[in-house]
Amino acid sequence: MSTESLETRLSDDLKTAMRAKDTLARDTIRGIKTALTMEKTSNSGGGLDEKKELAVLQRLKKQRTEAAEIFREQGRLDLAEPEEAQLAVIMTYLPEMMEGDALKAALQVIVDQIQPAGPQDFGRVMGAASKALSGKADNKQVAAMLKGMIS
């Protein structure tokens, strides 16, 4: 998805949410647009490429996930539920994440290429995996799976 298509999709979805009086979607989409604009302007005049867009969306996803977890731990469901609802809206703009066998197969290719000598090479393998699977897999899952594969 290119920058223009994401911006167009966000604008169209914002109009739809406003027509439907869906305040949650409206506010979440506005937040996404604001984060993208902030990233664009802090990027010293350069535009956003797909990688940077994805990084912004991943950051927003992480913020909502962490906030919801903290609120749930504190027993504040009234605050956790809106965060989770916003997370669901943000997830619609992220690509499908790799999990299970597909992730394991992709990691196996990376491990076969690097051929680590043991757990001491975890950092090298994790770096390559993070770069190769950026935006396609959760780094926590990647790290957990790699630890099992390398040791």
Which residues does the chain have with pLDDT short of 70? 1-4, 43-46
pLDDT at 97: 79
Question: In whole angstroms, how far apart are CA 67 and each of 11, 36, 144?
Answer: 26, 20, 23
For the domain covering 3-91, report its CATH number.
1.10.1510.10
State the architecture of 100-150 in CATH terms.
Answer: Orthogonal Bundle (1.10)
What pLDDT score was predicted for residue 113? 86
Domain with CATH 1.10.1510.10 in the chain: 3-91
Looking at residue 46, what is its pLDDT?
65
